[in-house]
């Protein structure tokens, strides 16, 4: 939680003229989507967070998917809620861009993961 607060303070300092610098928003989107992607892969069986994967698998699908059962759903939720809580001032277009970009980046990460696997 302390790390997230430091990141949010860094973002608050980067606001110019009421809008966040787009490069910082893209940079943060890369970071958040990569963290979500790696966490999602660590919930696979025999990985460190397999217990979490088993725990959420008991939930109904409408909870299971956004909490980690689906890469796109999970990354979208992480990006969506991160933007709500830590990016200020709020801008709807930036919010939609941030969430959509996070999902798109997670698909790129997944493609790279499967095609570069040895």
pLDDT for the residue numbered 103: 97
Instruction: Kindly tell me if the per-residue pLDDT of 18 is higher than 70.
Output: no
Q: Count structural domains, the chain.
A: 1
Q: What is the distance between the alpha carbons of residues 81 and 78, in angstroms, rounded to a whole number?
A: 6
Answer whether residue 105 is part of any domain: yes
pLDDT for the residue numbered 89: 85
CB 102 within 8 A of CB 77: no
Instruction: Kindly tell me if the per-residue pLDDT of 4 is higher than 80.
Output: no
Answer whether residue 70 is part of any domain: yes
For residue 105, the enclosing domain spans 29-115
Assessment of whether the complete model's pTM goes beyond 0.85: no
Answer whether residue 48 is part of any domain: yes
Contact residues for 64 (Cβ-Cβ < 8 A; gap 6+): 56, 57
Answer whether residue 8 is part of any domain: no
Q: What is the mean pLDDT of the chain?
A: 86
Give residue-wise pLDDT tens across range 64-94: 999 999 999 999 999 999 999 998 888 899 9
pLDDT for the residue numbered 66: 96
Answer whether residue 3 is part of any domain: no
Angle at which helices 71-86 and 22-41 cross, to 10° = 140
Answer whether residue 19 is part of any domain: no
Answer whether residue 2 is part of any domain: no
β-strands 15-16, 19-20 pairing: antiparallel
Answer whether residue 108 is part of any domain: yes
């Amino acid at each position: 939680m302390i790390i997230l607060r430091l990141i949010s303070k860094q973002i608050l300092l980067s606001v110019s003229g009421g809008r966040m610098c787009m490069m910082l928003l893209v940079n943060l989107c890369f970071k958040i989507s990569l963290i979500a992607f790696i966490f999602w892969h660590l919930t696979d069986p025999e990985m460190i967070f397999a217990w979490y994967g088993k725990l959420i698998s008991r939930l109904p699908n409408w909870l299971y998917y956004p909490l980690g059962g689906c890469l796109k759903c999970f990354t979208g939720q992480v990006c969506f809620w991160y933007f709500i809580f830590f990016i200020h001032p709020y801008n709807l277009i930036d919010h939609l861009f941030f969430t959509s970009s996070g999902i798109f980046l997670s698909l790129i990460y997944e493609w790279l993961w499967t095609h570069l696997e040895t």
